[in-house]
Each structure stands twice: as structure tokens, then as C-alpha cells.
């Protein structure tokens, strides 16, 4: 170990001493290798976002104004769209995390045939394209879907509404996000050695304190990652809301598409996009901050 380090330092010294020309060469090569990805970033992220930001501050006469934002936050329909989206996203994120966490914990601490089957099957939804899954939901939960037909045959009369309703969107969000969340959390739980749990039991910890004092602290970072990914995916959801969402209120993604391509209100659509971007960057900020924060337990 020590020898390795010493060797490494020596080597570094050597490359430094071989002269400025090779160093310059190296930095030019480095620059050349960075340019493509930087260009990609500029043309696909920075320029579009800047344009959208600029667009969102222009009124119909292309003059600077805050009209789009005023509209976004004061118009009744828009307000309810915003609330609807936030509500749906937060509830979906919370439920996804809850169900994913419970499922992952169940899979981590149980054995048997049923558990094996769940372990093999739970991530299948990740491999089903969104459109197909959405049509599946329509077929299953629609007004003449399988659920209703089976229910009717069994004598049930009334059903909760799924299609063109909040419930359906919630269901779709869960379907799309639980598998990935469970997968993330499972790998975090797999990282907890058995002897950690067993030694906790050995000193007298019951199930609840093992969960609160060991499992949660050792997985909360991954929980945060899962929350961030779920939130970001759901707040910009489009396919399912477009196909099975209610006409009013609408999810932001659908509302944006309508302002843009049906009403040609580019400014308002841009304002919505900027707002969503800010929400996501807020999430991203917290995510990155907590990832960077020096974990004392980590090496």
C-alpha cells in the first residue's frame, strides 16, 4: 500500500518533469475530448432552456412582460392545473416510496417460493412501454373494462372511477415508478450485512428499533434518490395523462402541450416549462447537496 503510493508519487513527478510541451499536449487532448459533450449540453440543454426562459417573459407583441406568469398563477383553470399536478405528484411519490420500501424490505428479509416469484416479476413494468401499459390500464379499469365486467358478473354495482380521473393517473404513476424504486431500495437493503441486523437483535433491539435505528439510517440516502427520480418523472409525465387524464383540471405536461399546439400560446407554455424546471432544479439541488455532504460514516 505504502509502496504503491510512493511509486505513484514518483511516477507523477516523472510526468511533470518530462516538459511543458507534453503537458500542453495533454491539456489540448483533454479539451478536444470535452468539446463534444459540452456542445451537446449547449445545444440540447442550455440553449433550449434559455430560449424558453426568454420566451416566457415576452407578451404577444414580443415585449418584455410578466403577463405569462401572472396568468399562470392567477387564472382559475391554471391554478387548479398546478394544484392538481402538485397534488398528484406528491401523493404518487409518497405512495411509490411507501410501497416500494415495504416491498423491498419484504424481499430482503423473507425467503420462500412466493418471495422468489415476486422477486422475479416485480420489475416487469419497467420493460413495458408507457403507451402499451396505458392501454392496458384502459382495458382493465375502463368503463367497460375487465374489472367492471368481472365485478358486474359477481353482482357489484358501483366502482371507483379510474379512467379520465385522478385515480387512473395515480395508478399509472405507481405502475411506472414502483419497480424502479423497489429495485433501487432493494440494492440499498442488500448492502446491509446480516451481521449488522443480527448484532442489533443480539443487544436487544426489537423489530421497530431495528427499522428506525438501523434500516432507515442506512438507506435514507437511497430513499432520497428514489424520491427525486420519482418526483421528476411524475411531474413531467405526459403519455398516461394525455391518454387517460381528466379534461379539467389537467396535468401540467398536458396543459403545456395544449397551450402550445392548440392555442398557440407559446409564452404561457414556456412559463409552465420554466416553472416545472425550477421545481425540478429545487429537487435536484437538495439531492446534490445531501449527496455531497460529507458523510462521517463513509470513508
Partner 1 sequence: MDVKEEEVLLSIRSLQKTYKTGDGVRDINLDIRKGELITLLGPSGCGKTTVLRTIGGFLNPDAGEVKIENQSILHLPPEKRPTAMVFQSYNLWPHMTVYDNLAFGLKLRKTGKQQIREKVEQVLKLVRLPGTEKKYPSQLSGGQQQRVAVARALLLEPKVLLLDEPFSALDAKLRMEMREELREIQAAGNLTMVFVTHDQEEALSISDRIVVMNSGRIEQVASPQDIYDQPSSLFVAQFIGRMNFLNGQASKDGIQVQSLRFGNDKGLAGEVTVAVRPEDMVMQDPSAAGMSGTVRQVMVLGHYAEVSVETPAGMTKVFLPREEARALLTGAEVHLGISRATAYSKTS
Q: Which three cell numbers stand for residue 288?
A: 446534490
HSE toward the beta carbon, residue 161, CA cutoff 13 A: 7
Contacting residue, 36, 62, 204, 293, with partner 1 by CB under 8 A: 204
- 253-270 CB burial, b ≥16 within 10 A, e <16: bbbbbbbbeeeebbbbbb
Q: Does 293 bind partner 1 (CB under 8 A)?
A: no
Of 227, 226, 267, the residue nearest 52 (C-alpha): 267
Q: Can residue 206 be called a binding residue for partner 1 (CB under 8 A)?
A: yes
Establish if 201 lies at the interface with partner 1 (CB under 8 A).
Answer: yes
Q: CA-CA distances (angstroms) from residue 66 to 55, 60, 204, 281, 287?
A: 11, 12, 61, 21, 30
| Segment (H or E) for 204 | none
| Residue 32 binds partner 1 (CB under 8 A) | no
Does 112 bind partner 1 (CB under 8 A)? Our answer is: no
Q: Does 37 bind partner 1 (CB under 8 A)?
A: no
Among positions 19, 48, 217, 282, the unique one binding partner 1 when judged by CB under 8 A: 217
Kindly identify the residues of this chain, within the stretch 170-199, that bind partner 1 according to CB under 8 A: 193, 195-196, 198-199
Q: Which of 3, 124, 154, 203 binds partner 1 (CB under 8 A)?
A: 203
Q: How many residues does the chain have?
A: 299
Site size toward partner 1, by CB under 8 A: 21
Q: Write down the least CB distance from residue 227 to partner 1, Å.
A: 19
Q: Counting contacts by CB under 8 A, is residue 266 touching partner 1? A: no
**204 in the Ramachandran plot: left (φ > 0), alpha (ψ -120 to 50) or beta?**
left
Of 116 and 198, which CB lies nearer to partner 1 in the complex structure?
198
Contact between 200 and partner 1 per CB under 8 A = yes
- Residues forming the site for partner 1 (CB under 8 A): 193, 195-196, 198-206, 209, 213-214, 217-218, 296-299
Amino acid at each position: 500500500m505504502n509502496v504503491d503510493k510512493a511509486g505513484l508519487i514518483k511516477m507523477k513527478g516523472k510526468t511533470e518533469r518530462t516538459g511543458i510541451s507534453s503537458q500542453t499536449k495533454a491539456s489540448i487532448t483533454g479539451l478536444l475530448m470535452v468539446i463534444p459533450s459540452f456542445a451537446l449540453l449547449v445545444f440540447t440543454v442550455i440553449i433550449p432552456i434559455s430560449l424558453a426562459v426568454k420566451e416566457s417573459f415576452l407578451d404577444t407583441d414580443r415585449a418584455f412582460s410578466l403577463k405569462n406568469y401572472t396568468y399562470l398563477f392567477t387564472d382559475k383553470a391554471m391554478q387548479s392545473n398546478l394544484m392538481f399536478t402538485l397534488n398528484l405528484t406528491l401523493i404518487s411519490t409518497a405512495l411509490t416510496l411507501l410501497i416500494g420500501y415495504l416491498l423491498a424490505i419484504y424481499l430482503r428479509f423473507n425467503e420462500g417460493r412466493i418471495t422468489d416469484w415476486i422477486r422475479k416479476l416485480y420489475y416487469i413494468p419497467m420493460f413495458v412501454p408507457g403507451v402499451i401499459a396505458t392501454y392496458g390500464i384502459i382495458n382493465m379499469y375502463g368503463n367497460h373494462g375487465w374489472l367492471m365486467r368481472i365485478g358486474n358478473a359477481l353482482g357489484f354495482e358501483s366502482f371507483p372511477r379510474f379512467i379520465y380521473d385522478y385515480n387512473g393517473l395515480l395508478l399509472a404513476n405507481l405502475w411506472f415508478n414502483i419497480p424502479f424504486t423497489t429495485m433501487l431500495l432493494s440494492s440499498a437493503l442488500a448492502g446491509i450485512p446480516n451481521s449488522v441486523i443480527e448484532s442489533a437483535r443480539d443487544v436487544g433491539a426489537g423489530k421497530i428499533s431495528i427499522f428506525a435505528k438501523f434500516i432507515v439510517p442506512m438507506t435514507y440516502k437511497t430513499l432520497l434518490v428514489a424520491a427525486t427520480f420519482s418526483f421528476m418523472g411524475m411531474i413531467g409525465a405526459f403519455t398516461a395523462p394525455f391518454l387517460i387524464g381528466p379534461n379539467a383540471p389537467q396535468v401540467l405536461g398536458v396543459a403545456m402541450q395544449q397551450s402550445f399546439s392548440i392555442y398557440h400560446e407559446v409564452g404561457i407554455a414556456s412559463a409552465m416549462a420554466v416553472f416545472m424546471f425550477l421545481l425540478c432544479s429545487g429537487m435536484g439541488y437538495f439531492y446534490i447537496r445531501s449527496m455531497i455532504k460529507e458523510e462521517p460514516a463513509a470513508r
